[in-house]
């Protein structure tokens, strides 16, 4: 499996703080924009199609399982 | 000549007075760029053609304007390339803007050592006009205007068409019918078939704007995302011959097509585009305008027995990428040599059967590219727009994002990967000229004159291209032997000096070394090319057995 979901952070807690901090003082719309741009920047860093496709599939599967409001239920 | 005004006279055909249905080997329906190209190609291969068109005029409005290099190479073979390139506006550079800032540019022809440019822009009526003139000079083409196919009946041994004319109906019998009658193909409907795909819920205003005075503007494709003169939408600009400019304005799904076609709506849009340029007070006329909604769709199969489909009748794409007319002309080229081979008994039905899969795969490639571009240009959800705008903004500062910016991936000829007519490589090559690829052009010298490789390939025949070496004569001999009694073969020797000779082949001097580079042509290397200039086999050392197997495979002879 090309996507590595075993622990791989150089410094996990530091990253987590930096991620939240990157959003400080941003509106919700700005935060969505930041997330989209971060996805694109990191996707290019990963580069390999198999790993990217696995990541997309894993994320989508998680969304569908999480119970978040769907389009129809609104 | 104003090709938009010309009217072709209806002429009663002798077939209309025949006691029984007149029989013809091939009837082509639709005299647009694809039908005309097919008819000319067939006639050049000695196949008589009846070409029917339901109208008596050429296209109104510019319509298909971007003709790609591969299409120009096909037009060269058909005898109209130079006249169209001379009239057309050549270009190869595209620029993409976000608001008023350039974010990306691309060059479609980084190597200039090809005879033809990446693209020419020329109005569809010029292309049709030149093709019609060419067709009218070929006695094997019987071009019948005001002739509408109203019924199609297929039997095991032929097809019967009922044709409606100003003099009333008559019937025709044909061995094969090729429908090139466009996106709303009546032949397709008459045999109960459909094209299926996806329609993009958006509207685009397409306008031809003619400027009275010369416009000092480069011949480049300019595309804007969210320009200040048309906020929140896209605009595309192309230069055409005769001082005419083509401007596409995205309008959104809620626009009223009838309202938006009115000059009172269009002129202010053009003025707004010009407002911040040196052209702000320029005088212009609106030549033509239309509002389009785009679709990407295709028939499941392009062949239905003796009835075949080419061009928009078979598949339709959104125009960002110029993949409509270009792929249609490539369909025609693919089909012409196969029909000729079958009718002239060099091949059987299996060869005709290869047309569908080869061109359906090409259509899927074109549909995929056009769909992706249209999704980027007209994002259809909030989040799709979020990512689209994120990409555009990142492209200002980051090179990787520029590769994602999609204002259209411009047409290139399909490589026919996986075609059963290809012979897979057994030797190792460092060249893009894989089996299935259309041959690349290159400069050369022949008989003391400068020339181009593609012009030297066989007209409607297979070609053997052998690189000079100790075994070159043997290679050519093997290829000739393999072809003897199977198919006509044109033979070429690629050498570094004009005195080189091998077994009766014409010597091409690879003056720049580019043929050798593009084909990885080490000495004795042999390429076998199909009549449509696509590679079907290549070897470092070719035997009679290998040549024979490859040629038979390319003709689907079993």
Write down the pLDDT at residue B112.
85
What's the CATH superfamily of B14-88+118-195+296-369? FAD/NAD(P)-binding domain (3.50.50.60)
- Could you tell me what percent of chain B has a pLDDT over 90? 91
- Strands of B449-452's sheet in order across: B449-452, B443-446, B506-509, B489-495, B462-467, B526-529, B535-539
Which strand (E) or helix (H) includes residue B68? strand B66-68
What ipTM does this complex have? 0.95
Chain B residues with CB under 8 Å of A39 CB are: 387
Second-level CATH architecture of B204-293: 2-Layer Sandwich (3.30)
* 8 A C-beta contact, residue B464 and residue B504: no
pLDDT of B276 reads 78
Position B500 scores a pLDDT of 93
Q: CB A40 to CB B386 under 8 A?
A: no
Distance CA B129, CA B123 (A): 10
Contact A32 B398 (CB under 8 A): no
Lookup result for tokens 């009679």: B544
Overall pTM surpassing 0.90 (yes/no):
yes
Residue of B nearest to A47 (CA): B400
Integer Cα distance of B87 and B83 in angstroms? 6
Residues of chain B with pLDDT under 70: none
How many Å apart are CA A17 and CA B21, to the nearest integer? Answer: 83
Domain residue ranges of chain B, discontinuous segments joined by +? 14-88+118-195+296-369, 204-293, 443-554
Question: pLDDT at position B199, please?
Answer: 92
For an interface test with A, the pick among B384, B386, B395, B406 (most A C-beta atoms closer than 10 Å) comes out as: B386
Of B91, B94, B84, B93, nearest to B122 by C-alpha is B84
Q: What is the DSSP string of B494-535?
A: EESSTT---TTPEEEE-TTSHHHHHHT--TT-EEEE-TTSBE
Nearest CA in chain B to A42: B400
- CATH code given to domain B443-554: 3.40.30.120
Which regions of chain A are under pLDDT 50?
none
Q: Provide the pLDDT for residue B217.
A: 84
B312 and B324 Cβ atoms separated by less than 8 Å: yes
């Amino acid at each position: 499996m090309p996507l590595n979901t075993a622990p791989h952070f150089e410094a996990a807690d530091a990253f987590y703080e930096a991620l939240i901090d990157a959003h400080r003082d941003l509106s919700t719309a700005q935060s969505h924009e930041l997330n989209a741009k971060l996805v694109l920047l990191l996707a290019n860093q990963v580069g390999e199609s198999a790993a990217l496709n696995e990541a997309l599939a894993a994320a989508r599967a998680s969304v569908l399982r999480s119970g978040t409001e769907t389009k129809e239920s609104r | 000549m104003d090709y938009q005004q010309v009217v072709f006279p209806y002429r009663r055909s002798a077939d209309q007075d025949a006691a029984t249905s007149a029989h013809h080997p091939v009837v082509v329906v639709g005299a647009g760029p694809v039908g005309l190209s097919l008819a000319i190609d067939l006639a050049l291969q000695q196949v008589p053609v009846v070409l029917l068109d339901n109208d008596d005029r050429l296209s109104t409005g510019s319509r298909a304007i971007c003709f790609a290099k591969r299409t120009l190479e096909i037009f060269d073979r058909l005898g109209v390339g130079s006249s169209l390139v001379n009239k057309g506006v050549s270009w190869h550079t595209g620029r993409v803007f976000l608001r008023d800032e350039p974010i990306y540019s691309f060059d479609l022809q980084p190597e200039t050592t090809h005879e033809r440019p990446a693209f020419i822009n020329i109005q569809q009526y010029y292309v049709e006009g030149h093709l019609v003139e060419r067709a009218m000079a070929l006695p094997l083409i019987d071009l019948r205007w005001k002739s509408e196919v109203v019924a199609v009946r297929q039997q095991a041994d032929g097809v019967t068409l009922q044709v409606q004319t100003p003099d009333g109906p008559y019937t025709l019998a044909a061995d094969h019918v090729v429908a090139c009658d466009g996106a709303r193909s009546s032949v397709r409907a008459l045999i109960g078939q459909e094209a299926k795909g996806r329609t993009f819920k958006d509207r685009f205003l397409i306008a031809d704007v003619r400027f009275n005075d010369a416009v000092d503007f480069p011949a480049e494709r300019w595309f804007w995302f969210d320009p200040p003169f048309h906020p929140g939408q896209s605009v595309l600009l192309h230069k055409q011959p005769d001082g005419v400019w083509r401007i596409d304005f995205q309008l959104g799904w809620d626009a009223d097509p009838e309202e938006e076609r009115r000059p009172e709506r269009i002129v202010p849009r053009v003025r707004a585009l010009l407002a911040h340029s040196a052209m702000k007070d320029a005088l212009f006329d609106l030549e033509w305008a239309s509002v389009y909604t785009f679709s990407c769709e295709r028939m499941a199969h392009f062949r239905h027995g003796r009835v075949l489909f080419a061009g928009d009748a078979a598949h339709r794409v959104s125009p960002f990428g110029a993949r409509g007319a270009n792929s249609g002309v490539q369909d025609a080229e693919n089909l012409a040599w196969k029909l000729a081979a079958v009718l002239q008994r060099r091949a059987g039905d299996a060869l005709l059967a290869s047309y569908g899969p080869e061109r359906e795969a090409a259509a899927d490639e074109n549909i995929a590219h056009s769909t992706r571009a249209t999704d980027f240009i007209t994002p259809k959800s909030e989040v799709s727009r979020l990512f689209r705008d994120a990409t555009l903004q990142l492209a200002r500062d980051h090179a990787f994002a520029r590769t994602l910016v999609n204002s259209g991936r411009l047409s290139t000829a399909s490589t026919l990967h996986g075609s059963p007519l290809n012979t897979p490589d057994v030797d190792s090559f460092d060249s893009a000229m894989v089996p299935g690829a259309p041959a690349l052009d290159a400069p050369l010298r022949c008989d003391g004159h400068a020339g181009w490789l593609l012009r030297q390939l066989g007209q409607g025949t297979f070609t053997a291209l052998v690189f000079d070496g100790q075994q070159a004569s043997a290679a050519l001999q093997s290829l000739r032997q393999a072809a003897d009694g199977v198919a006509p073969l044109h033979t070429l020797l690629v050498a570094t000096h004009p005195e080189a000779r091998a077994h009766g082949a014409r010597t091409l001097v690879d003056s720049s070394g580019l043929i050798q580079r593009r084909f990885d042509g080490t000495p004795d290397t042999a390429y076998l090319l199909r009549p449509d200039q696509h590679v079907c086999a290549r070897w470092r050392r070719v035997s009679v057995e290998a040549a024979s197997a490859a040629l038979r495979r390319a003709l689907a002879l079993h």
